[in-house]
């Protein structure tokens, strides 16, 4: 059988296997599907035959990212595409490419999600074979057998690992594959798709979105894929990836992603308008939506606005400068919306969709704005009080609290009062905590023991929509002597003298009884070495948590202190300070790279990389993540994991993105390119940025020019990995990350070599 026939058969087998797997694996996700995709880019040439764009449910649209010169698009290295030449179809066009890509590495877990374009099962770019599919991928080498739970932006997945296989990821699964059937484009918008809405860069994890990136030509992108950034956009609010073991312990988490995608069409701000809850027959304040034409050269024209959806009648359009209007390059227009439902109203959430078709230029996605509001006619209630109505033996020095069924307004010293027979109202301070929906009355002085008091909350308290309590809420109780028992720390995590404490884990202290929340703060809890962080308190569990602003130092002793400033609900302070000293996990030393030397030229399509094994400060076993990629930021690549010196080649370039994939669940990508998958960033005008932000961290004991300081290392200290599947005439970058499995990952410098 000749080589061509074997390759063809291999591709067909791979395609059939992938299609079968796409029927077997269904996601546990609850994500909203993408909204729509655009018309095909015709005629061919000059078009590509792929859909011009995909739009998510928030109205954000991304197009085929093939701007090699921009530095913001990700490509697959293959024999069909040279990023140094202009992109043209089909003579110089990537065999696989992205509309949208987001990936991260959370401890041992590699995670990728995206919308990708390809060519049926044939591999090479060819008209009539275009196809698009969505994907979520998980790859992890885990430390032990058991059940692992992964939480990610589009859902929660559970993996059962029954056995460990050296050099092979035990978690090795691809979800949401919608086939590489030629001219099949509706997979990513299928109702069962889990890839949507698109993630975009945020100021903080889950925070406000950041402005999009723009290249020199005026094109706009979701982000710079060379930078790992916090994101927003998860339909579940889980803008992170986290893996937990069977005991529920987090063994890996990432709140940042490398994301890529080219934005097309006009944008709306805000893209979603959420009106606050209100009663029927009340007209909300007007909300103004601004639509922007991001094109710096060409004008755009919008068609007439359409207001659709189950509750469209509850939303009213005001002044509209967008419908039928030409919007100049970089120009804007506005439309105004209000929300109101006639009496008597129907309780619940109301939604509608505001959309503008783009009539020019042709083929652009519509501008859509999601509208929502809530009608609320339900009055709030008092669900719990402390003390309870007719309660006895309430300490005379304790505060009185009342918890509501929902957040309320109007809690003041005139709407929450305390009295006793024959005396004026008791003086005190009233506060309200929206997070717990709890109002607190703190008497100015201790109450009288063995006396009866009446607490009253009036109808001056109302919910956010303005619905007042149906009637005054009154509860009566009897006091006893003040509580003079000081609170104590019941437990802490870590405990005193604990070792191997992960440097990124929060610290917690649990009290034996409820304490005054306002007394738990950064002045009553602190960590040695001047470490700063956020201090919070959960009354339900009586637990204080300290989250450091940045990870603690490795292999270091710290002491946490809880001071006598912490008080009981009766303002009784702790009798003495509590302290706990613990020791953080020790890290491996920086791996020293041996060969190939930096800037070396290697012959053939395989290379053996060597490094000096790292030693861990507290003798944890060290594994290695070996990265080999065609860009110094390792963007789009994933590592090969090894314990040091594997007996045989374990993978091609890209680690999980290569031969190791075939040991797990089969990918839909073509056989030839999959066997030597290497993602690379188009580096024109971006090399300095990538090198600065994502290059090798730490030093290299061997120095930049080679292992001159390690002229004759002990062979037993050398680790090696054979990397096949290289492409001749290509510059590769590599580094090694030493991982002690307990939260410490130390990376070498980044070197490069050229194949010939």
pLDDT tens-place string over residues 193-226: 778 899 999 987 767 888 888 888 888 899 999 8
> 197: left (phi > 0), else alpha (psi -120 to 50), else beta?
beta
pLDDT of 650 over the 50 cut? no
Which pLDDT belongs to residue 313?
Answer: 96
Reported as a single tens digit per residue, the pLDDT across 549-595 is 888 989 999 999 999 999 988 889 999 999 999 999 998 988 999 99
Which pLDDT belongs to residue 699?
Answer: 34
Q: Among 208, 195, 333, 311, which Cα is nearest to 266's?
A: 333
Which pLDDT belongs to residue 23?
Answer: 30
**Residue 417: φ, ψ to 5°:** -125, 165
SS3 5: helix
**Contact yes or no for 599/703 (Cβ under 8 A):** no
**Residue 35: φ, ψ to 5°:** -80, -45
Q: What integer is the mean pLDDT of 258-263? A: 94
Distance of CA 265 to the CA centre of its chain: 25
| Third-level CATH fold of 278-375 | Immunoglobulin-like (2.60.40)
SS3 342: coil
Reported as a single tens digit per residue, the pLDDT across 62-73 is 999 988 888 898
**Contact yes or no for 558/531 (Cβ under 8 A):** yes
Q: What are the distances in angstroms from CA 675 to CA 7, 335, 662?
A: 12, 52, 9
Whole-number average pLDDT of the chain: 83
pLDDT of 744 over the 80 cut? yes
DSSP string of 517-530? Answer: GGG-STTTEEEGGG
Max CA distance (Å), the chain: 106
Distance of CA 714 to the CA centre of its chain: 43
pLDDT of 683 over the 50 cut? no
% the chain with pLDDT above 70: 85
Q: Distance (Å, rounded) from C-alpha 125 to C-alpha 118?
A: 8
Q: Distance (Å, rounded) from C-alpha 8 to C-alpha 10?
A: 5
Range with the largest mean pLDDT of 36-40, 415-419, 437-441, 679-683: 415-419
Which pLDDT belongs to residue 573?
Answer: 95
Confidence of residue 29 (pLDDT cuts 50, 70, 90): very low
**Contact yes or no for 428/444 (Cβ under 8 A):** yes
Q: Distance (Å, rounded) from C-alpha 143 to C-alpha 232?
A: 31
711, two tokens: 């002229």
Reported as a single tens digit per residue, the pLDDT across 448-464 is 999 999 999 999 999 99
CB within 8 Å of 16: residues ≥ 6 apart:
none
Which pLDDT belongs to residue 669?
Answer: 30
Full 3-state SS string of 638-649: CCEEECCCCCCC
Burial of 342 (0-12, 13-18, 19+ CB in 10 A): exposed
Q: Distance (Å, rounded) from C-alpha 428 to C-alpha 440?
A: 10
CB within 8 Å of 528: residues ≥ 6 apart:
558, 559, 560, 561
Give the neighbor-by-neighbor strand order of the sheet with 367-375. Answer: 272-274, 367-375, 348-356, 306-308
Q: Distance (Å, rounded) from C-alpha 719 to C-alpha 623?
A: 10
Q: Distance (Å, rounded) from C-alpha 742 to C-alpha 587?
A: 9
Could you say which architecture CATH assigns to the domain 489-583?
Answer: Sandwich (2.60)
Which pLDDT belongs to residue 637?
Answer: 73
Q: What integer is the mean pLDDT of 38-57? A: 93
Strands 267-269 and 679-681 come out as unpaired
More confident of the two residues 668 and 443: 443
More confident of the two residues 562 and 519: 562
**Contact yes or no for 607/755 (Cβ under 8 A):** yes
Give the neighbor-by-neighbor strand order of the sheet with 267-269. Answer: 267-269, 287-292, 332-339, 315-320
Q: Among 321, 515, 507, which Cα is nearest to 399's?
A: 515
For the chain, residues classed under CATH 2.60.40.1220 are 489-583
231, two tokens: 């994101």
CATH superfamily for 592-650+665-755 is Immunoglobulins (2.60.40.10)
The DSSP bridge partners found for residue 736 are 626
**Contact yes or no for 143/251 (Cβ under 8 A):** yes
pLDDT of 689 over the 50 cut? no
Strands 462-463 and 473-480 come out as unpaired
Which pLDDT belongs to residue 295?
Answer: 82
SS3 509: strand
Strands 367-375 and 272-274 come out as parallel
Strands of 261-347, DSSP E? 262-263, 267-269, 272-274, 287-292, 300-302, 306-308, 315-320, 326-327, 332-339
Instruction: Tell me how many degrees the CA angle 152-154-160 measures, rounded to the nearest 5.
Output: 55
Q: Centre a 10 Å sphere on the Cβ of residue 529 and count the other Cβ atoms it contains.
A: 10
Q: Distance (Å, rounded) from C-alpha 681 to C-alpha 630?
A: 8
**Contact yes or no for 681/226 (Cβ under 8 A):** yes
pLDDT of 177 over the 70 cut? yes
Q: Distance (Å, rounded) from C-alpha 626 to C-alpha 644?
A: 10
Q: What integer is the mean pLDDT of 642-663? A: 37
Residue corresponding to tokens 């006639």: 342
Q: Among 68, 70, 94, 67, which Cα is nearest to 80's?
A: 94
Which pLDDT belongs to residue 365?
Answer: 94
DSSP string of 55-90? Answer: E-TTS-EEE----GGGS--EEE--TT--TTS--BTT
Cis peptide before 12 (omega within 30 of 0): no
Which pLDDT belongs to residue 33?
Answer: 63
Helix H or strand E encompassing 400: strand 400-404
Could you say which DSSP state residue 485 is in? P
For the chain, residues classed under CATH 2.60.40.10 are 278-375, 592-650+665-755
The DSSP bridge partners found for residue 278 are 375
Which pLDDT belongs to residue 301?
Answer: 96
**Contact yes or no for 213/253 (Cβ under 8 A):** no
**Contact yes or no for 423/477 (Cβ under 8 A):** no
**Contact yes or no for 456/414 (Cβ under 8 A):** no
Confidence of residue 545 (pLDDT cuts 50, 70, 90): very high
Q: What integer is the mean pLDDT of 140-147? A: 90
SS3 16: helix
């Amino acid at each position: 059988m000749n080589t061509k026939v074997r390759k063809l058969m291999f591709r067909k087998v791979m395609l059939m296997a992938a299609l079968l797997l796409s029927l077997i694996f269904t996601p546990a996700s609850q994500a909203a599907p993408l909204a729509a995709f655009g018309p095909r880019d015709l005629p061919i040439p000059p078009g590509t035959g792929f859909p011009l764009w995909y739009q998510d449910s928030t109205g954000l649209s991304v197009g085929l990212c093939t701007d090699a010169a921009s530095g913001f698009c990700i490509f697959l290295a293959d024999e069909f595409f040279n990023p140094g030449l202009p992109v043209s179809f089909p003579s110089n066009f990537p065999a696989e490419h992205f509309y949208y890509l987001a990936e991260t590495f959370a401890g041992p877990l590699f995670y990728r999600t995206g919308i990708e374009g390809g060519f049926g099962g044939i591999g090479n770019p060819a008209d009539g074979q275009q196809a698009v599919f969505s994907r979520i991928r998980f790859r992890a080498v885990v430390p032990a057998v058991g059940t692992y739970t992964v939480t990610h932006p589009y859902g929660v997945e559970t993996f059962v690992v029954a056995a460990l296989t050296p050099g092979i990821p035990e978690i090795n699964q691809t979800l949401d594959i919608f086939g590489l059937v030629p001219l099949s484009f509706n997979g990513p918008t299928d109702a069962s798709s889990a890839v949507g809405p698109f993630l975009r860069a945020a100021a903080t994890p889950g925070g406000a979105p950041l402005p999009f990136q723009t290249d020199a030509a005026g094109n706009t992108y979701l982000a710079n894929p060379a930078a790992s950034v916090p994101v927003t956009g998860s339909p579940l609010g889980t803008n992170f990836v986290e893996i937990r073991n069977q005991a529920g312990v987090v063994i890996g988490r990432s709140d940042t992603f490398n994301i890529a995608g080219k934005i097309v069409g006009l944008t709306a701000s805000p893209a979603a308008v959420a009106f606050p809850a209100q009663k029927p027959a009340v007209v909300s304040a007007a909300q103004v939506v601004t639509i922007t034409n991001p094109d710096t050269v060409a004008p755009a024209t919008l068609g007439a606005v359409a207001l659709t959806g189950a509750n469209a009648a509850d939303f009213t359009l005001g002044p509209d400068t967008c419908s039928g209007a030409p919007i100049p390059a970089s120009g804007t227009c506005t439309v105004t919306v209000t929300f109101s439902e006639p009496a008597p109203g129907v309780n619940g959430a109301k939604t509608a969709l505001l959309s503008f078709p783009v009539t020019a230029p042709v083929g652009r996605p519509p501008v859509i704005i999601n509208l929502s509001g809530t009608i609320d006619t339900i009055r709030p209630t008092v669900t719990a009080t402390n003390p309870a109505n007719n309660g006895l033996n309430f300490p005379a020095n304790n505060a009185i609290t009342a918890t509501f069924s929902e957040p309320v307004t109007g809690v003041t010293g005139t709407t929450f009062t305390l009295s006793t027979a024959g005396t004026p109202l008791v003086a005190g301070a009233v506060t309200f905590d929206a997070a717990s929906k709890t109002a607190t009355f703190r008497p100015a002085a201790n109450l009288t023991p063995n006396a009866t008091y009446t607490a009253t909350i009036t109808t001056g308290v109302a919910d956010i929509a303005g619905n007042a309590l149906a009637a005054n809420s009154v509860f009566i109780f009897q006091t006893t002597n003040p509580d003079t028992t000081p609170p104590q720390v019941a437990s802490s995590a870590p405990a005193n003298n604990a070792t191997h404490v992960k440097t990124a884990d929060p610290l917690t202290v649990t009290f034996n009884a409820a304490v005054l929340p306002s007394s738990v703060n950064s002045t009553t809890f602190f960590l040695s070495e001047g470490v700063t962080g956020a201090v919070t308190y959960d009354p339900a569990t009586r637990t204080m948590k300290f989250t450091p602003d940045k990870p603690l130092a490795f292999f270091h002793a710290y002491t946490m202190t809880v001071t006598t400033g912490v008080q009981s609900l009766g303002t009784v302070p702790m009798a003495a300070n509590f302290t706990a000293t613990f020791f953080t996990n020790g890290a491996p030393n920086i791996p020293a790279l041996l060969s190939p030397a930096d800037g070396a030229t290697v012959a053939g399509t395989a290379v053996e990389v060597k490094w000096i094994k790292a030693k861990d400060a507290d003798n944890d076993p060290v594994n290695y993540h070996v990265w080999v990629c065609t860009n110094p930021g390792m963007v789009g690549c994933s590592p090969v994991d090894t314990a040091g010196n594997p007996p045989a080649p374990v993978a091609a370039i890209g680690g999980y993105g290569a031969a190791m994939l075939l040991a797990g669940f089969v990918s839909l990508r073509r056989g030839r390119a999959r066997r030597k998958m290497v993602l690379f960033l188009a580096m024109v005008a971006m090399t300095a940025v990538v090198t600065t932000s994502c290059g090798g961290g730490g030093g290299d004991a061997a120095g930049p020019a080679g292992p001159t300081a390690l002229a004759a290392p002990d062979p037993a200290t050398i680790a090696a990995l054979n990397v096949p599947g290289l492409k001749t005439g290509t510059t590769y970058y590599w580094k090694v990350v030493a991982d002690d499995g307990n939260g410490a990952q130390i990376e070498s410098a980044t070197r490069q070599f050229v194949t010939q």
